[in-house]
Structure 1
Amino acid sequence: MKKLTHLVAAAVLALPVMASQAAADLAEILEAGTVKIAVPESFAPFGFLGATGEYDGYDVDVAKLIAEDLGVELELVPVTSNQRIPFLETDRVDLVIATMGANPERAKSIWFSSAYAPFFSGVFASGDKAIASAEDLAGMSVGLTGGTLEDLELTKIAPETTEIVRFGDNAATRAAYESGQVDVLVSGNTLAAAISADNADADIETKFILKESPAFIGVKKGNLDLLFWVNTFILHKTLGGELNGFSEKWLGQALPPLPKL
């Protein structure tokens, strides 16, 4: 009997702790007056620490607009890639807006909204180069970061006469393209966008897409009202042009059609 009493007491003591860890659904966010949103800690142009000491980027702009439409204060929580899902699962954030792709494995842990931002691996070059497919890369030198998704995808389809030059990291790949060491850049669209953002005279455009991997907003499982609200927000801002404005501002391209869940 004494053992049972101790077990009951322990369970009662645990209840407040369990309640405090409950996820903040839509009604709770509105009542609290604050929404906590995870954004990339260092992944320009989606999320990065700007010159003013404030976080900036595509994902940060989306987070600010969400807080504005909710009518609540925004608390930004910068995260690394491997913190995104754990922070959501442990209620450190209400939403994750951090260039996160949706896949079946991740969907075992969290829910995903419809896509809100384009993210893709592509082939980029100057406007004077007529490139519409992999076949057009014959005889050209192509710079990319070795061992990446772009390396794997292009190696499958590039003509034998394509010179694929592999670099150790994105910085070296970018430098090679900007210096004219290679004719073509193959990378994620964020690297191409960074080149355009840093140099208004940069001659670089998307030639074709290797692999689409758009970004989705992460919502904790069970927060159905919040998920529905976020999807309505994405639809509203797509139709209203706000997301297109963010895409033009940060990625240098019009918002393409994005998948809906």
Structure 2
Amino acid sequence: MTLSLQRRAFAGSIAALGLGALLTVATPFAAAQTVAELKKKGELTVGLLVDFPPYGTTNAQNQPDGYDADVARLLARDLGLKLNLVPVTGPNRIPFLLTNKVDLLVASLAVTPERAKQVTFSKPYSAATIVMYGSKKAAIKGAPDLKGFRIGVARASTQDVTVTQMAPQGTEIRRFDDDASAMQALISGQVDAIGCSTTVAAQIAKRVPANTFEQKFVLRQQEMAVAMRPGQDELLKTVNDFVARNTANGELNKLYVKWLETELPKMQ
């Protein structure tokens, strides 16, 4: 290589290194891995649903609210940190966590073995009963009766997994982006029934004439936990202590009663 070419190569390398350093400095530190990093950042960034009332919804100012939002506020206050709430959807909530867009999820994420392979779960802080809810005219009493019916579910949700596992061949499963879309599909007659939480079923009942829909059968009882990235052991202990303490002192129950008008279920 000639001296001229060597100088050009060296200059190119320095320029590349300079650009890399610039990008490193310019890229914001989106999420923390440890409690110390959270304290240094001064802010807790939490992903939560806003389409799953009353667990996740929006208030009159179009800001995130609901049981999950209140739990996140309680956790941030416990840590002495400013809270940044980031709306997520059912399908993108785990990707948001794993790509460092949020520090953790308080997003009605049900604990399942499949999800436990991707994220680390805290002790459960909430629970919900998932049911099959549909038209009173639909002769559905159990999973075998789903054959021939159009069943709606929110994509990538617990009910999606459960219905997919139990539905017999010949069931038409229609997947929607979120619970709100599945709910609208039921109300508009696009599907005969949907898998949803009892709270979503209650919301539907308020919007339609009496005796239009009914609970067909229980799909499962799901417990929901705070989700963190694998390896956040210190943060996991901190969150577990938070859940245990606020379960024992009744603070989580107060929030649950506030939003769901019933006592917080006993959880494993």
TM-score range, shorter chain: 0.5 to 0.7
> 3-state DSSP class of the match of 1:118?
strand
Unaligned runs of 5+ in 2: 1-5, 134-140, 143-148, 154-158, 175-180, 208-213
Query: Which residue pairs with 1:49 in the alignment?
Result: 58
Distance 1:41 1:252, change over 3 A: same
Distance 2:225 2:51 in 1: 18
Whole-angstrom CA distance in 2 between matches of 1:97 and 1:77: 10
What is the 5 A alignment of 1:136-155?
Answer: 146-148=151-153, 149=159
Q: Is residue 2:100 matched to residue 1:100?
A: no
- Secondary structure of 2:108's partner? strand
2:34 to 25, 33, 37: 25
Shift of the 235–196 alpha-carbon distance from structure 1 to 2, 3 Å rule, reads: farther
Is it true that 1:232 corresponds to 2:241 in the alignment? yes
The answer to whether 1:170 aligns with 2:186 is no
Indicate the residue corresponding to 1:70 in structure 2: 79
Alignment of 1:1-261 (within 5 A): 13=21, 20=29, 23-122=32-131, 146-148=151-153, 149=159, 169-171=182-184, 173=186, 187-194=196-203, 209-259=218-268
Using structure 2 for the length normalisation, give the TM-score.
Answer: 0.65
Counterpart CA distance in 1 for 2:215 and 2:255 is: 18
Gaps of 5+ in 1: 125-133, 136-143, 157-165, 177-184, 199-204
User: Does the CA contact (< 8 Å) of 1:145 and 1:173 recur in 2?
Assistant: no
Residue by residue over 1:22-72, the C-alpha shift from the partner in whole angstroms, topping out at 9 and shown as x without a partner, is 733111112222110111132211112211332210110101101111111
Q: CA RMSD in A?
A: 4.3
Name the % identity.
Answer: 34
Distance in 2, matches of 1:240 and 1:174, equals 40
1:220 to partner: Cα distance: 1.4
Residue pair 1:197, 1:250 contacting (<8 A) in 2 also:
no
Give CA-to-partner distance per residue, 1:76-117, whole Å, 9 cap, x none.
Answer: 111111221122112211110111112232222221111111
Letter of the 1:215 partner, please give it: M
- Give, in whole Å, the separation in 1 of the partners of 2:261 and 2:204: 10
- CA–CA distance in 2 between the matches of 1:58 and 1:206? 23
